[in-house]
Structure 1
């Protein structure tokens, strides 16, 4: 059992979010050692960059792409995939209210319980290559590479499971990832989370904990996200940037003088139409897929 350092919470930060953030930081591992000061003629690293995943680095919801890949491997029955698709659509369309986050949490847990960490890690690598690799925003990828070239750490910060988030970070050549941590026993998922989904305030807690561990000065760090739900994380750093922002984040960014980057084509359609279209498409795709799925494999989740 891993014991996590706990700190006092404030009225704005619930205990579950702190626990999730500290668990994410404890599970995060850099893919390469930091460069020495001045090595290869590069400047000394004084900070890091933190990137949200869904609709910031990758088009669409990573957890839905994961669900599609798991469906193809018969992890889900017809009712499961339909329910999962509906919950994900509600999560996106309903403003990501905490009740919807709870539903998404339940769905996220359902696929892993009883499976081994190694099994999910290998499947995650396969699913990234099959379903996710062609959905990376080139513009955001370029921003990440700019930070890497400057000798800075670059971390994904996402509600996706830490195993999947780490795979994506590795495939993109990033430093590492902060993601949702699930409880395991003897290398097998129990079906419970450590804390909660890495979402909203929990992301900010993860970034704080990682900064403490890595000795980062957050005023010299950057953060990128598409969602107003990530304002707590964006507010932590000295250089926040809204990428492909939703309407609420765009307003907030403009009011506070933050940078805004939009890599979508047809800005008005992207800002207003695509979230709804993506959500409806997720439901339709899940329901259509469900009609063809075979019975759940005995012994599978």
Structure 2
């Protein structure tokens, strides 16, 4: 039976966030950081987050998004890991609260499916734009059903509170540079900047070489989701 690897993006595959990468490219980095910080402190909600981003992106083009994506501060080995999963006949899903128009670019790196917030440039933010913690679980359940898998055939990789639901749902989970809450939930933790090493931990969990809900530290550690 094949496997499903579920990845968060911001803070997991990207060192920062899609919002930061886009605004860095178009010259609004300070404004983007202020928005991200306000959201992290709970001073603005998810809809206001997008309401503040939209004016910064009023002239954003597909070429801008492409350049921001490819110049992004990705951890090492993302494309290689996605390609390896595909070569094995397995599935990968990237599920993120960042814009769908950004995460779509990961399909070119070999991701099987990508799922992001339904942000529309020039549109008015509303609840329909949001991708919640519960949505991450819902999407994962739908993929498990689509591929004829069980939860024991899946492993999730994440770093923050947006991943709590899926880490509670799946038996195999890897915290990648995770915050304390997600490390406490994770079966295994990886600290470093090479996805290939975190992926090796995930493969070990799926193969049964590490016991679920017991391993907290990786033996191969190096140095808004």
TM-score under structure 1 length normalisation:
0.55
Aligned position for 1:155: 93
What CA deviation, in whole Å up to 9, does each residue of 1:71-96 have, x standing for no partner? 34xxx7xxxx654331112334x2xx
Change (3 A) 1:227 1:141: farther
Runs of at least 5 residues in structure 2 that lack an aligned partner in the other structure = 195-223
For residues 262 and 144 of structure 1, the distance between their equivalents in structure 2, rounded to whole angstroms, comes to 20
1:124 aligns with 2:72: no
* Aligned mates of 2:101, 2:36 — CA distance in 1: 20
Partners in 2 of 1:157 and 1:199 — Cα distance?
10
Residue matched to 2:206: none
Instruction: State the number of aligned residues.
Output: 195
Matched, 1:56 2:12: yes
Q: What residue is the counterpart of 1:88 in the other structure?
A: 36
> Can you give the 5+ residue segments of structure 1 that lack an aligned partner in the other structure?
1-43, 266-278, 280-301
Aligned to 1:205: 138
CA shift for structure 1 position 213: 4.0
- Specify the alignment match of 1:270 in structure 2: none
CA distance in 1, matches of 2:61, 2:130: 18
Query: Which structure has the bigger radius of gyration?
Result: 1
DSSP-derived class of the 2:128 partner: coil
C-alpha deviation, 1:123, in angstroms:
2.9
Supply the distance in 2 between the matched residues of 1:194 and 1:112 (Cα, whole angstroms). 19
8 Å contact 1:165–1:177 — kept in the other structure? Answer: yes
CA deviation vs aligned residue, 1:95-122 (integer Å, no higher than 9, x gap): xx48443432323444567x7xxx7444
How much has 1:140 moved relative to structure 2? 5.7
User: Using CA pairs below 8 Å that are at least 6 residues apart, which structure has the higher relative contact order?
Assistant: 1
Structure 1 residues 182 and 264, CA gap change in structure 2 (3 angstroms): closer
